């Protein structure tokens, strides 16, 4: 499945651009379908590798949707083109943000979730740049709009970020504090953040700062798990944490089929 989006543009970057997303992979629930989670891969990866990992998890009641990011030049790689949810020049909380790229990817993700049945709980998770995009979507949900002002209508129930960071954080607190509805939505959304203490790609300090920023902006249910001796990769203990957290936060039927 591929998807083109030419309607989501940010005024901060001038002309709108057409973006072609890669193939989307779906892992069907083995049991009763109770929740759907979009899972976003890291820089240079694809939805196929995500789906292969997720189908091994003991979460039979979740449908996983694993899209593939567009191929685009990436500043941090010297302009080398690879799959990326947005352009990144500095993997840091306070780096220059590609709002247009973030909005376009967040809109694509929301579009994939928009056709899920009304009784299905929906969420977004990801690794590294995918985690950053998931957290950006969480802020769009809280504000009720994308960075460019278009309305965000998906009702998220859970967000997971593994080894990631929070884009567009500088003015987040003021934007949410200025809205009663925004503060309510932020306070209602559970977020799980996991990070390796020895991450040399997205340093742990960026994950720590992201957590602090989310908390100060009114996200009350942020759970943080830190792993000593772990770098920029996932480990079984971390994925066990993800499974337990999703079962509890989404009220799933555990491992029963």
Q: How far is CA 98 from CA 13, 75, 84, 174, in A?
A: 8, 11, 11, 20
What H or E segment, with its residue span, contains residue 250? helix 236-250
Sign of the CA dihedral with 116 first, then 122, 126, and 131 last:
positive
The CA distance from 121 to 246, in Å, is 11
| Catalytic option among 105, 199, 206, 210 | 199
Torsion of CA 220, 210, 142, 102, to 10 degrees: -160
With 0-12 CB in 10 A as exposed, 13-18 as middle and 19+ as buried, what is 147?
buried
The CA distance from 65 to 112, in Å, is 8
- Any catalytic annotation for residue 128? yes
Torsion of CA 23, 161, 45, 96, to 10 degrees: 100
| Catalytic option among 128, 163, 169, 210 | 128
What tokens appear for 99 in the block? 């709002």
Nearest alpha carbon to residue 132 among 195, 96, 99, 85: 85
Active-site residue list:
128, 199, 232
């Amino acid at each position: 499945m591929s998807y083109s989006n030419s309607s989501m543009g940010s005024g901060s970057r001038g002309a709108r651009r057409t973006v072609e997303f890669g193939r989307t992979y779906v892992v069907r629930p083995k049991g009763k379908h109770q929740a759907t989670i979009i899972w976003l891969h890291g820089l240079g990866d694809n939805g196929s590798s995500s789906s292969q990992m997720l189908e091994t998890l003991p979460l039979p009641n979740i449908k996983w949707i694993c899209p593939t990011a567009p191929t685009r030049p990436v500043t941090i790689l010297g302009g080398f083109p690879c799959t990326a949810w947005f352009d990144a020049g500095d993997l840091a909380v306070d780096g220059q943000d590609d709002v247009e790229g973030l909005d376009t990817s967040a809109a694509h993700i929301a579009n994939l979730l928009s056709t899920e049945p009304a009784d299905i709980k929906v969420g977004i998770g990801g690794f590294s740049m995918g985690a950053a995009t998931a957290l950006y979507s969480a802020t769009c949900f809280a504000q009720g709009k994308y960075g460019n002002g278009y309305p965000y209508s998906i009702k998220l129930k859970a967000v997971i970020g593994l080894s990631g960071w929070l884009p567009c954080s500088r003015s987040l607190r003021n934007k949410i504090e200025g809205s009663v509805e925004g503060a309510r939505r932020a306070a209602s959304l559970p977020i799980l953040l996991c990070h390796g203490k020895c991450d040399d790609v997205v340093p742990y300090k960026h994950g720590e700062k992201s957590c602090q920023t989310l908390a100060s902006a009114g996200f009350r249910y942020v759970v943080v798990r830190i792993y000593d001796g772990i770098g920029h990769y996932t480990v079984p203990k971390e994925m066990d944490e993800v499974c337990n957290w999703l079962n509890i936060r989404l009220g799933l039927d555990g491992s029963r089929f």
